[in-house]
Structure 1
Amino acid sequence: MPESKAKLLHKFRQAYGDGIIEGVVWEVPTPVPPSEHPYKYRLVYIVEGKRVIGYDNERGKGDHKHMGVLEVAYVFKNVPTLLADFKRDLEGAIS
């Protein structure tokens, strides 16, 4: 039986506001603990070398987001909602 591999769903890097946004979303064969969904993701907004906003589901931490120096839990629903939530926080950061 062939081994299942991660499937790249989204990858981007572009100028945004005063900084750069970068992101990658993978569909993975098994969830990244303690997340229970089949996605691994990292989305970030960087200004002058510093993370302003970040979303990720690091192994052992689960789904969370970084807002400046704060790290808070993030309730993952689906990939379109994840991207929309990230965009909403981006717009709030540059307004």
Structure 2
Amino acid sequence: MANEFTLCTWNLRTLYRPAGLQLLCQQLANHRADITAVQELRWMGHGVIDKPDFAIYYSCNEKHHTFGTGFVVSKRLKHLVIDFQPINERMCKIRFKGKFQN
């Protein structure tokens, strides 16, 4: 159905290495993941990275390459993101436009 999406989680252990982000995007495309909650990014700061196939919303430690969490949203759904709020290096939240349907 057009209204369905795939939600995943992934403990990455680290994306603080060369080509880590590219490998992540390839794996998520292979699994057709629409929204993926990711942990242990080990980046610094918070923000959004726009790639052709995905948008990465992240919230990490401000001073050290430790912890870090975020969401990777496919291009199919990234236009539905209403809000992203980084809270700290262990928590962030994302809000999507949608309708509840049972």
Q: TM-score, normalised by structure 1?
A: 0.29
**Which structure ranks higher in relative contact order (CA pairs < 8 Å, sequence separation ≥ 6)?**
2
Normalized per residue, the structure richer in strand is 1
